[in-house]
Structure 1
């Protein structure tokens, strides 16, 4: 932590750098520094203000600003979950702003040769998981976030996941599904969004959202079967068998050779 400048001034500079088209400045300096300060407690008395800044950046014209703002927002939510620092109403406001951005974002590129990492789906998945695991939100609210993941997958787009976006999103969903207060029906109801989308399929080339969705479900199935290995812990989904069977049934509709039992 630099000692020759006021902390608020440093935060202002780093927040501005999140919008930079220079990947090194944005990713290796601004993002890395802010996340470190958030998670180690340096910014505990400024979390609400920082999260509010990030929700405003979710509306920024530059895609890199939006996709890195959501990562900082994820860190704030994780810190609050660990240290109980923020108001429930604020967390819900941030969630609403995030959901609006995540379901509406159209630039899903993972990597750009000039801008570097953008990763809207993957970065947003981290935020989705943070909100979905937050003790501030009820089981019902967590279940609604599962549906947000489904909507993100089936929304028309021409970007085929190429940078493990499917794995990142599956991990976020799996972490939410580890919540012990989720009922069995809540754990699988969100898949109806995908079921409805698959039902619209027609002969011909597989649409990009369909391919992205199938691949994400493949990854999620592994978590349902083997558990979630995250932050040196292994967790099981609260209703792993029900989730596994529901995913198998869905995938069997688009690839009949798969076992569905």
Structure 2
């Protein structure tokens, strides 16, 4: 059983007060993990507690759990059960608020994406499953248009998974089938929020892959970068054929 201070931090991570939850508990927990100040038994207990937290009644409590799990993954800890647990929460979560005036950061989509990006950077989990989870999140029907750079965070997570050396060509682009299906189902009229979210995510990914994606400030290499960029551009062209065309000779 962990000591009282660790259990108090985990309790505070569910606080509706952003100063307690974000600036206090989250910052302290991730520092303890990063600096190696928690023994293995405590890290294991913390991971289990975060998986349980994904079922909390309040969104802001649920959404900070993947960030702590991401910090554990980054130092080499992973229980394979974490990935399907986070995937279920990530793809089914209905509260997609970014910043709330009273609660502070909820940021469900961004925090979930950070977990999958951490798995990508650490080389853990099945890359096809990680990419599919991110794709499922961006296309799921919603009434909420992302406004707090969730699209950029998902794109960054996609890039980190795509940078893994075990990603082959089919895996690098198969996740785009979910996007093609979404766009193919469209009809004239207002753009559905999920379609807007998806378009902006793909544009962010296209830009990142055209430059140098970063992990903790250091560039990573995406082996199939041009293949992914070409297919992302082709998918985006389906929804904006009046805006641009492929350069001659490409």
TM-score by length of 1: 0.90
Counterpart secondary structure, 1:72? helix
1:3 maps to none
1:33 maps to 28
1:115 maps to 103
Q: d(CA) in 2 for partners of 1:56 and 1:215? A: 32
Q: 1:160 to 1:121 in 2, by over 3 A?
A: same
Contact 2:50–2:65 under 8 Å retained in 1: yes
Q: After the TM superposition, list the runs of 4 or more consecutive aligned residues in structure 1 that deviate by more than 4 angstroms.
A: none
Contact 2:13–2:64 under 8 Å retained in 1: yes
Note the C-alpha offset of 1:92.
Answer: 1.2
Q: d(CA) in 2 for partners of 1:245 and 1:27? A: 39
- RMSD, aligned α-carbons: 1.4
Note the C-alpha offset of 1:103.
Answer: 0.6
Counterpart secondary structure, 2:145? coil
Note the C-alpha offset of 1:158.
Answer: 1.4
Flag structure 2 segments of 5+ consecutive residues without an equivalent.
none
Count of aligned pairs between the two proteins: 245
1:226 maps to 211
- Match for residue 235 of structure 2 among 250, 253, 260: 250
Q: d(CA) in 1 for partners of 2:202 and 2:113? A: 14
1:95 maps to 83
Flag structure 1 segments of 5+ consecutive residues without an equivalent.
1-5, 81-85
Counterpart secondary structure, 2:179? helix
Q: d(CA) in 1 for partners of 2:82 and 2:160? A: 20
* Residues 1:15 and 2:3 are matched in the alignment: no
TM-score by length of 2: 0.94
- Match for residue 55 of structure 1 among 47, 51, 62: 51
Note the C-alpha offset of 1:188.
Answer: 0.5
Contact 1:133–1:142 under 8 Å retained in 2: no
* Residues 1:79 and 2:67 are matched in the alignment: no
